Amino acid sequence: MQLEAKNVSCGYDTRTVISNISLAVNCGESLCILGPNGIGKTTFFKAILGFIKLQSGQIFLDNEDISNWSRRNLAMKVGYVPQAHNPPFPFKVIEVVTMGRTAHLSFFSSPSRKDREIAEKALQTLEITHLKDRVYTQISGGERQLVLIARALAQQPAFLIMDEPTANLDFGNQIKVLNQIKKLVKEENLGVIMTTHFPNHAFYCASKVAVIEKGNVFRIGTAEEVITEDYLKTVYGVDVQIISVGKKSDSLRVCVPVSANCG
């Protein structure tokens, strides 16, 4: 299955934030979108998820234009993992995850035992079954992020859209979340589109990387092709060196800042 954006422009009212972007993701692939603050990554996600109307272009799921799809049909194919925030009421983790089943329920019904079992399985997949009866508002930010991923899994979509899944997490939790994403792509054959501010995260877990620069310059390719020292210099204005670590066969690229001026 393929999620494809074709010549998409989007924004608010008459202002265009993203113009003429085309990209495609297949199931079993992860696409990492990199770009500085305010460049329109979240706006692009809003457009894919149908929160805002496209100004031009189309979005296809398996060559079918989704612009007239109902919320429910779209939710069965595309799940959304927002940045974790506090809801006003102290729901239990299992209740939050069960909400992922909403798209599969008829408008007037509530989840059944079967839906609850699917939610519990999603908790198992992410290895957070121990959180099941904890109160969602009282667990840590990293745990909450994992719970939101579990909720999206309970939705049983083919694609996941993740808005900075590693934002506000400590170092350990960042890697845990990235490992889970890698696992979902590999073992559950999900297609993932995520944004991040860390080039190293893109090197670590993305099969494709898209970078958006100022003036709507847009490039897509493998991490090695797209994230270059030149790119990081032009976009962020910092001197960076990209090096390879590990054995030749499965080496990992990382970028490290080199301080040129301040010793």
What residue ranges bind other proteins (CB under 8 A)?
A: 12-13, 46, 49-52, 70-72, 74-76, 78-80, 82, 85, 87-92, 95, 99-100, 102-105, 107-111, 133, 135, 137-138, 151, 155, 161
Rank residues 107 and 171 by Cβ distance to other proteins and give the closer one: 107
Q: Tokens 């509530």 correspond to what residue?
A: 110
Rank residues 13 and 230 by Cβ distance to other proteins and give the closer one: 13
Alpha-carbon distance values, 142 to 149, 172, 220 (Å):
11, 9, 29
- What is the Cα–Cα distance from 239 to 56, expressed in whole angstroms? 37
Least Cβ distance, residue 263 to other proteins (angstroms): 46
Q: For 131, what's the count of Cα atoms within 13 Å in the CB-facing half-sphere?
A: 31
Rank residues 154 and 223 by Cβ distance to other proteins and give the closer one: 154
Least Cβ distance, residue 219 to other proteins (angstroms): 28
Least Cβ distance, residue 232 to other proteins (angstroms): 31
Strand 15-26 relative to strand 2-12, pairing = antiparallel
Rank residues 79 and 199 by Cβ distance to other proteins and give the closer one: 79
3-state percent breakdown (helix, strand, coil) of the chain, nearest 5: 40, 30, 35
Q: Tokens 């080496």 correspond to what residue?
A: 251
Rank residues 38 and 246 by Cβ distance to other proteins and give the closer one: 38
Least Cβ distance, residue 170 to other proteins (angstroms): 22
- The answer to whether the beta carbons of residues 158 and 27 sit under 8 Å apart is yes
Least Cβ distance, residue 156 to other proteins (angstroms): 11
Where helices occur in 49-198 by DSSP H, the ranges are 71-77, 93-98, 113-125, 141-154, 171-187
